[in-house]
Amino acid sequence: MSPHPYDVVDICAPVSGMVVEEGRGALPFHLIHGESLVAAAAWAAGEAGIDLIDQTVPWELVAERGEAVLLHDPLCPMTPPAFLARCADRAGVEDRIVVGVRPVTDTVKVVREQTLGETVDRDELLAICSPVVLPPSVVEDLFAAGGPLPSTDFLELVATLRERYGDERVEFVEAPPEARRVGSDEDIAVLAALTDPR
């Protein structure tokens, strides 16, 4: 399989970024490799060349920057900077919403009226992780519609963006294993072992 033409690039246009901690409880402040998850996520975004801005900045000012906006989930704290940079560049170059995803590896069953049903084909499922990158045209459109983001929950956000802009404007990009999302201290321990620099 040949590489995507934007797989090895530096960010060619300025990109704003936000580490979205809202609605995630206290978990973003738990530690991995001696740093909080939110600090690790911010470091990765900075290393990717993303200009981080606070989530409380009015959407009007965000839109005025005329840049793509990369949303990084602190519950995916070890997402590699190179992957963040590639996603940011693709969003700007292709004028599409770019979403990092991981394959689903758990067995998923259908439940009907408290009865366990058939197994869902995992090949048809994706797990949203990080980042979600909005190209400048979408940032401007969200501001025109009253901004800010329709949701800070990435699953809800992506569903809303797909509904509003259509599947052809949303590109799912497989993220590396280090980008996996954590939901508990046990998940953090697994991710820490996976990304141990020693």
Here the CATH number for the domain that contains residue 150 is 3.90.550.10
The structure's pTM equals 0.85
Across 101-110, 141-150, 166-175, least confident range: 101-110
Q: Is residue 9 part of a domain?
A: no
Is residue 45 within 8 A of residue 82, CB to CB? The reply is no
In this structure, is residue 4 part of a structural domain?
no
The answer to whether residue 86 sits within a structural domain is yes
Strand intervals (E) in the chain:
15-19, 31-32, 35-36, 51-52, 68-72, 97-103, 109-112, 115-119, 126-134, 170-174
> Does the pLDDT value for residue 74 go beyond 90?
yes
Return the higher-pLDDT residue of 170 and 12: 170
> Range of 83's domain?
15-194
Average pLDDT, the chain: 86
Q: How many domains does the chain have?
A: 1
Predicted pLDDT at 147? 73
pLDDT for 112: 67
CA–CA separation, 156 vs 36, rounded Å? 25
Distance CA 135, CA 170 (A): 11
1 in a structural domain = no
Nearest Cα residue to 90 out of 24, 11, 30, 28: 11
In a domain, 169, yes or no: yes
Average confidence (pLDDT) over 114-122? 55
8 located within any domain: no
pLDDT score of 77 more than 50:
yes
Residue 130 lies in a domain: yes
- Dmax over CA atoms of the chain, in Å, equals 52
Per-residue confidence band for 120, with pLDDT thresholds at 50, 70 and 90: very low
Tokens of 153: 């929950």
Alpha helices (H) in the chain, listed in sequence order: 37-47, 59-64, 81-94, 136-144, 154-165, 185-194
Confidence of residue 12 (pLDDT cuts 50, 70, 90): low
Look at residue 186 and tell me if it is in a domain: yes
Residues 105 and 174: their CA atoms lie apart, in Å, by 14
